[in-house]
Amino acid sequence: MSDRKRISVVLFNLGGPDKPAAVEPFLFNLFNDPAIIELPGLFRWLLAKLVSKRRAPIAREIYKHLGGSSPLLPLTQDQAAGLKVALSAQYPSNDYQIDIAMRYWHPFADETAKLIKVFDPDMVVLLPLYPQFSKTTSGSSFIDFEQALDHAKIGAKRRTVCCYPTDSGVIDSHVDLITESLKKVPDGCKSRILFSAHGLPKKVIEGGDPYQWQVEQTADQVVSALAIADLDWTVCYQSRVGPLEWIGPSTEAEIERAGQDGVALIVVPIAFVSEHSETLVELDIEYGELAHDKGVETYIRVPALGTSQPFIDGLAKTVIEAVADQETLRSSPGPRLCPHGFTRCPHKGEPCGQQAKAA
């Protein structure tokens, strides 16, 4: 009997509208997610309808810069293709199918579950393209997809990769991309690295979400690996919407401070592994214009990880580690990273791992 296993790997991301007409329903799906707006169903539905209708014209203008649609799905398809090549080459003892499930637009979880049903795998590995865990991103996708797997009556073993903020592939890829970008800084010009991540309302973090702590762990590891003496850097947060108080400092405030300090800026999308509206429009266009207005003479945006080989190889290694985890038959989120106190961490109540103890 062959020992080969059929492994289904599901890549999760936010998703994005594929045409102008899809912008408003995409936004509705986003704001109707209970992980995003914590209101009872009917009130959340009504608020989501109102907010999506009001924001749709603004969002359509943003997507005009991208040709009318989000590039996230084709870029994720490139990552899926790269991951299959890496898995097949480095760990050829199994057969792999790599599928994509987007949270707020096609392909939705139930569509992807049908493809998995046909593949009939021995194991399903849930792999978010969010290196840092948040209940608003990975957490929401996991709940959604587990329901889709149950509805499709897929009985295969399940493994869940909750996060990988300090994975060597993530760190090495950031270091390579930042190193290339630093070469563009004019000679004699002082520079500052901004690690910009998507922000969250403070109440989410205060509720035990480990996202901000994990973002800071990623930045710390990248800075250590860069090994540049007296490196000027900071972590900041972008994309604020709504009236709630958000975590900071904001990327806008840090851009203004850089103008006052007369330094060049190297902006790193530390929590985005693919190019989409938050990088191609918000960072490149909107914040690029803000930097010019605030007197920042050199503004360099480091690319997202994309299909950087260390990143893809790191994902492949993470998948194999999940496959090898025999602790449970249903779902295992891997070794604990977060210290206790983060009640939204999927490992709450378990002993801390070595990295958490060191923190």
pLDDT digits (tens, 9 = 90+) for 280-339: 999 999 999 999 999 999 999 999 999 999 999 999 999 999 998 754 433 445 556 787
Domain tally, the chain:
3
> In terms of domains, do 182 and 297 share one?
yes
Rg of the chain over all Cα atoms, to the nearest angstrom: 20
Cα separation, 349 vs 167, whole angstroms: 23
**Predicted pLDDT of residue 326:** 58
Cα separation, 82 vs 101, whole angstroms: 17
> In terms of domains, do 268 and 314 share one?
no
- How confident is residue 181, by pLDDT bands cut at 50, 70 and 90? very high
* Residue 123 falls inside a structural domain: yes
Cα separation, 198 vs 51, whole angstroms: 19
> In terms of domains, do 146 and 282 share one?
no
User: Which structural domain, as residue segments, surrounds residue 290?
Assistant: 168-301
> In terms of domains, do 115 and 151 share one?
yes
> In terms of domains, do 159 and 243 share one?
no
**Predicted pLDDT of residue 358:** 29
- How confident is residue 347, by pLDDT bands cut at 50, 70 and 90? low
In the chain, what percentage of residues exceed pLDDT 70?
Answer: 93
**Predicted pLDDT of residue 229:** 94
What is the 8-class DSSP label of residue 281?
A: I
pLDDT at 244 over 70: yes
pLDDT digits (tens, 9 = 90+) for 137-175: 999 999 999 999 999 999 999 999 999 999 999 999 999
Question: Do residues 153 and 268 lie in contact, with contact meaning Cβ atoms separated by under 8 Å?
Answer: no
**Predicted pLDDT of residue 346:** 78
**Predicted pLDDT of residue 210:** 95
Last residue of a domain, one of 255, 278, 301: 301
Return all residues near 32 (Cβ < 8 A) that are at least 6 apart: 44, 45, 48
> In terms of domains, do 174 and 254 share one?
yes
> In terms of domains, do 141 and 233 share one?
no
- How confident is residue 205, by pLDDT bands cut at 50, 70 and 90? very high
> In terms of domains, do 179 and 284 share one?
yes
Other C-beta atoms closer than 10 Å to the C-beta of 64 total 12
Least Cα distance to 307 among 176, 198, 145, 160 occurs for: 176
Exposed, middle or buried by CB within 10 Å (0-12, 13-18, 19+), for 336? buried
* Residue 1 falls inside a structural domain: no
**Predicted pLDDT of residue 16:** 97
> In terms of domains, do 156 and 218 share one?
no
pLDDT digits (tens, 9 = 90+) for 69-119: 999 999 999 999 999 999 999 999 999 999 999 999 999 999 999 999 999
> In terms of domains, do 115 and 152 share one?
yes
**Predicted pLDDT of residue 348:** 55
**Predicted pLDDT of residue 351:** 37
- How confident is residue 354, by pLDDT bands cut at 50, 70 and 90? very low
Cα separation, 74 vs 299, whole angstroms: 27
Last residue of a domain, one of 284, 301, 318: 301
DSSP element (H, E) containing 237: strand 233-238
In the chain, what percentage of residues exceed pLDDT 90?
Answer: 87
Last residue of a domain, one of 301, 326, 349: 301
Question: Do residues 74 and 82 lie in contact, with contact meaning Cβ atoms separated by under 8 Å?
Answer: no
Secondary structure of 291-340 in HEC code, one letter for each residue: HHHCCCCCEEECCCCCCCHHHHHHHHHHHHHHHHCCCCCCCCCCCCCCCC
Mean pLDDT within 245-274? 98
* Residue 81 falls inside a structural domain: yes
Whole-model pTM above 0.85?
yes
**Predicted pLDDT of residue 340:** 72
Mean pLDDT within 249-260? 98
Mean pLDDT, the chain, whole residue set: 92
* Residue 43 falls inside a structural domain: yes
* Residue 338 falls inside a structural domain: yes
CATH code, domain with 189: 3.40.50.1400
> In terms of domains, do 81 and 53 share one?
no
> In terms of domains, do 203 and 340 share one?
no
